[in-house]
């Protein structure tokens, strides 16, 4: 097999997966950030945002961290393609990709599952609540973002340097 | 480095991680299975179990599937150690370990996060509720089980056969 060809297919696939992850995380971020509900208190009504629910606050954090990581990786990928050498040279770069993708995919999944865990149950009690539905949509988009990140993680696992065994 | 020695360190480490995962999943399973709460209805009181909450039902399923998978892997490991040859020969066995551990660790994490996502919020509304606390403890043990499975997944990633690149 042609080394250069296979290696550039790998780079392009991972680059594409990063862009797709970023895209879905961005939409998930916008939806959760704009969602709000009205709380009726003794003193009148108050607008509340997602940060009043612990699960959604955690979900929001995972989206932000996952977005920052994938943006950094995208910058590295573009640098590699333009300069034709890896931003992180040696085995270190492959290990960074492997552990980075592994940890980030776990993080994104946990955010999505926490969001679903809360809203799935609440939507049974208060069905067709616009706030919960928006939060649920955001968790769904985050799940798609996770899937792309998890596929990137499979790629970067196969690119691991061999340990002596 | 001595090949046989390093390879048997690998096998023993993975075997130990499987046993630890199984142990924590078993305790998590018992705790969620015995937890119950009393619902007061018009007709009297009814005992309800975890399966009345979607997030906990999902959590329970992930524990059962994760337990079955790790038990199968444990059997394979013991077979390998006793017969001194892998149960699944060739690259197939390494790929099965890699994808198996990857998918199972994602599954276990999603179960734990869904459980936490629901009970973390509910415990703010009804603090020191024994049912929610038990479910939370189960989610915590499941998280520990996930961590051991994730470490096993790192081991089986490094054992991957190299693809031509």
This model of the complex carries an ipTM of: 0.89
Q: Of A89 and A129, which is predicted with more confidence?
A: A129
Check if the beta carbon of residue A61 is closer than 8 Å to that of residue A53: no
- For residue B39, the surrounding DSSP H or E stretch is strand B36-41
**Is A4's Cβ below 8 Å from some Cβ in B?**
no
Task: Render the burial of A66-88: b for 16+ CB within 10 Å, e for the rest.
Answer: bbebbeebbebbeebeeeeebee
Q: What band does A165 get if pLDDT is binned at 50, 70 and 90?
A: very low
For residues B74-91, average pLDDT: 81
Torsional sign, CA A12, A108, B29, B115: negative
- pTM of the predicted model, to two decimals? 0.90
Residues sharing a CB contact under 8 Å with residue B32, sequence separation 6 or more, in sequence order: B50, B56, B59, B60, B63, B134, B135, B138
Name the residue in chain B with its Cα closest to that of A122: B118
As separate numbers, helices (DSSP H) first and strands (DSSP E) second, chain B gives 4, 2
Asked if the model's pLDDT at residue B117 lies above 70, the reply is yes
**Is A106's Cβ below 8 Å from some Cβ in B?**
yes
Asked if the model's pLDDT at residue A164 lies above 50, the reply is no
CA distance to partner chain A, nearest, from residue B120 (Å)? 7
d(CA B50, CA B36): 6
For residues A87-95, average pLDDT: 79
pLDDT digits (tens, 9 = 90+) for A107-141: 999 999 999 999 988 888 888 889 999 999 999 99
Asked if the model's pLDDT at residue B2 lies above 80, the reply is no
pLDDT at position A1, please? 43
Distances (CA, A) of A165 to A40, B2, B11, B17: 64, 8, 11, 19
Which of B117, B121, B127, B139 would you mutate first to test chain A, the one with the most A CBs within 10 A?
B117
pLDDT at position A134, please? 94
């Amino acid at each position: 097999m042609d080394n250069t060809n296979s290696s550039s297919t790998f780079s392009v696939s991972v680059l594409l997966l990063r862009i797709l992850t970023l895209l879905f995380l961005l939409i998930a971020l916008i939806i959760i950030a704009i969602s709000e509900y009205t709380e009726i208190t003794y003193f009148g009504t108050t607008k509340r945002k997602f940060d009043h629910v612990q699960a959604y606050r955690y979900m929001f954090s995972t989206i932000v961290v996952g977005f920052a990581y994938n943006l950094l990786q995208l910058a590295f990928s573009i640098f590699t393609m333009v300069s034709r050498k890896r931003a992180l040279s040696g085995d270190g770069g492959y290990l960074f990709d492997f552990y980075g993708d592994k940890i980030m995919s776990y993080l994104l999944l946990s955010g999505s599952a926490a969001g679903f865990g809360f809203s799935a149950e609440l939507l049974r009690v208060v069905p067709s609540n616009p706030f919960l539905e928006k939060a649920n949509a955001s968790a769904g988009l985050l799940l798609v973002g996770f899937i792309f990140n998890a596929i990137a993680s499979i790629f970067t696992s196969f690119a691991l340097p061999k340990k002596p065994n």
